[in-house]
Each structure stands twice: as structure tokens, then as C-alpha cells.
Amino acid sequence: MKDLKYFALIILILGACIGLHAQNSIKVSTPKTLFEKGDDGIAEFRIPSMITTKKGTVIAVCDARVDRGGDVPNNIDLVMRKLKKESKEWTSLTRIVNFAGKHGAGDPSLLQDKKTGRIFVFYAFCPGRNNLTEGPNRERRHLMVQYVYSDDEGESWSNPVHVDYALREDNWQNIWSAPGRGVQLKNGKLIIPCTINKDTKVMATILVYSDDHGETWDKIEVAEKINEPQMVELENGDWLINARNQMEFRKCRAITVSKDGGKTWSSPVGDRNLPDPNCQGSIIQNIFKIGKEKKDLLVLSNNDTEKGRRNMTLKLSDDNGKTWEHKKLIHEGPSAYSCLTILPNGNIGLLYESGEKSPYEGIDFVKIELVN
């Protein structure tokens, strides 16, 4: 019995050392606030989206909730800042979607076709605005999928393109892009994860995809009771979705996998190794060079807690999401939505909602380096 106690103590010490090593192997820069409440007269900035283009430009887009906070129905524009390759300064704030009146464009999702260079920003379009954002008015809102595109690294943007009509089913009240980012597969397929409402109450995940560089779009239905999905293609070709959880146990991230190119999906399960307060999260996959070693890693950002939007945390998995051994607390205080990207130098960029008293005081950016 005495030997067992000593053995258990050794295991605890080793575990603590491993955890410390994991923390020290993830280096985080000082946060830079890119969008702060009150900038350019905006009442609230929310819902970060970010990608790095093939030319090395980091593009950050978010909601600009013009004269009051809250989701649509509301007067919401989409705004952008860019960090050009080799530059140390972000460009000034630019509006890229701005409807007349009180129409809303929210929940941006960025994606680039690496072959053509075209950059897409998908978003939820909601016409008009009611006086309230909650309760019956919110139930009556009507969300549609639109996008704008740029062929010049975000210097100019197209007029809105509406893709709703080719996708919508009769019992869908709403369809909108999952905030964060899309993914381009190895075969060139473009995918924008989306959420739908069936008959008002039931949420479900679908994937909107294009096999012709965005000329036409179709859909793949995935599963009900998960929403705000983000997707990665694993090195073995599997598609993995990490999503907000609307199932019976909601205090963790939801996972589903397809092994046949999206034709069938595993039943969604809650991953209790990934606590979450029922909020959005971001996930990316990349081959990282760490010292002399190359590692295939999944990188996840979310609120590492079962209750309350706080504890923005970076997590790493080297076994396709079966375990998440390494993690780093980015912001202990209030935080909510986030988006990840791979920076031109191979490090990680994280854009996340953050504040001292509320998660929605601003949107911060940090650079993250993985070291030995």
C-alpha cells in the first residue's frame, strides 16, 4: 500500500511536469486589439473571422454592430483589417459589406481558393430590424446565405452574391454560415460549414460546397443538434467537424467524422476532454516544424470551461483529436468567439473576443509559436 502511494505521487509529479512543459512549449505574443468598442463609431464588434492568403496577407473580418449590440435582426456591417506580408502594421478599418437602412450582415466566414486566388466572405443576411433581438422577434428572423469576393487580396470587393435559393429546403426557416473560416480540401473542393434551422427550433449542420471554384454551390447535410461547425481534412483524408453542442449534454465540444468524403457521418458525440460553455470554437490542421521535427497537429481554440464565456485557451492534438495533451491559457478573463490561422512564417495566429468585464469589449490578435 505504501509503495502504491509513492507510485501515485510520482505519477502526479510527472503529470505536473508534463503539463508545465506543454505550457512552456507554447509561446504567446502580447495581445493587440484590432477592433475595439467605439472605434469608427461602432457600438460593438463581434464574431471574428481570419485567414492567411497564399500571398501571405492576413485578413481579419468581423461584425460591426453599428448603433447597438446584439445579433440580427440588427444594423450590422462587415469590417476588415489586413496585415500584409513583411508588414508590422495592420491596415485601418474598412467596411466591406454595408447595406442601406437596418439590414444586417453577420457571422462572417472567410475562405480562399488557392488555385484562383479568389477570397470569399460568406455571411448571414437578415433584412430589416425589429426593436428587440430576443424572444418572439428573434424567432421570426429570416437568415439567408450570401457572400462577397475579392480577386485582389481584399483591396476591393464584389457586390453581394445570393446562394440561398439553390440550397434551401421547404422546412428550413434559416440558413447561415458558421462563423470562423471555411476549408479547401486537397482535391480543390471549397467548403463553407453552415447552420440551418428546421421548423424554427431544430438546429442542424450542413456543408455548402463548390467543385468549380465558386461558380456553383451545393450542400451536404451532416447532423442535427450541432451548430456553428468548423471542419478540417485530416492527413488520412477523413473529414472532422468540431461544433457547438446542442445535444443533451452541452458542456463540451461536439464531434462528428466522415470517412467517405461526406457521404455518411458518424453520430455526433460530446468530447468531454474538450469542456465548452456552449459557444463557438475554431479548429485548424497543419504540419508544423518544431525544432528539427515535423508534427501533424490539430489546433483548437475555445473557452476551456463548462460554464461562462471565459478562459480562451489554445489546445493541441497530435492524434487526430483523440487526445489533447498540450494547452495554453490565452486569456483568463471574459472571452467568447475565436478564429485561428497559420501565419506566413508557420506560426499560429489567433483572433478572439476579449474583455475585462465582458467578452465583447473588443477583438484581440496574438501570435503563437510552438517550440521544443
Q: What mean pLDDT do residues 236-246 have?
A: 97
Instruction: Assign domain 39-181 to its CATH architecture.
Output: 6 Propeller (2.120)
What is the domain partition of the chain in residue ranges? 39-181
Q: What mean pLDDT do residues 221-228 have?
A: 96
Q: If 0-12 CB within 10 Å is exposed, 13-18 middle and 19+ buried, where does residue 358 land? A: middle
Q: What mean pLDDT do residues 98-106 have?
A: 93
pLDDT tens-digit readout, 162-204:
998 889 998 898 999 999 999 999 999 999 999 999 876 789 9
Of 362, 345, 277, 339, give the one whose Cα is nearest residue 311: 277
Which pLDDT score is estimated for 347?
Answer: 97
Between CA 327 and CA 320 the distance in angstroms is 15
DSSP state of 249: -
First to last CA, the chain: 38
Between CA 79 and CA 129 the distance in angstroms is 19
Q: What mean pLDDT do residues 305-322 have?
A: 97
Q: Quick one: CA torsion of 174, 142, 232, 319, rounded to 10 degrees?
A: -70
Q: Is the Cβ–Cβ distance between 256 and 222 less than 8 Å?
A: yes
Residue 131 has pLDDT above 70, yes or no: no
Which pLDDT score is estimated for 291?
Answer: 83
Residue 16 has pLDDT above 50, yes or no: no
Residue 4 has pLDDT above 50, yes or no: no
Q: Which run of H or E residues covers position 21?
A: helix 2-24
By residue count, the chain amounts to 372
pLDDT tens-digit readout, 275-284:
999 999 999 9
Number of other residues whose CB lies within 10 A of the CB of residue 164: 16
- Angle (CA) 199-203-204 rounded to 5° is 110
**What is the pTM for the complete model shown?**
0.92
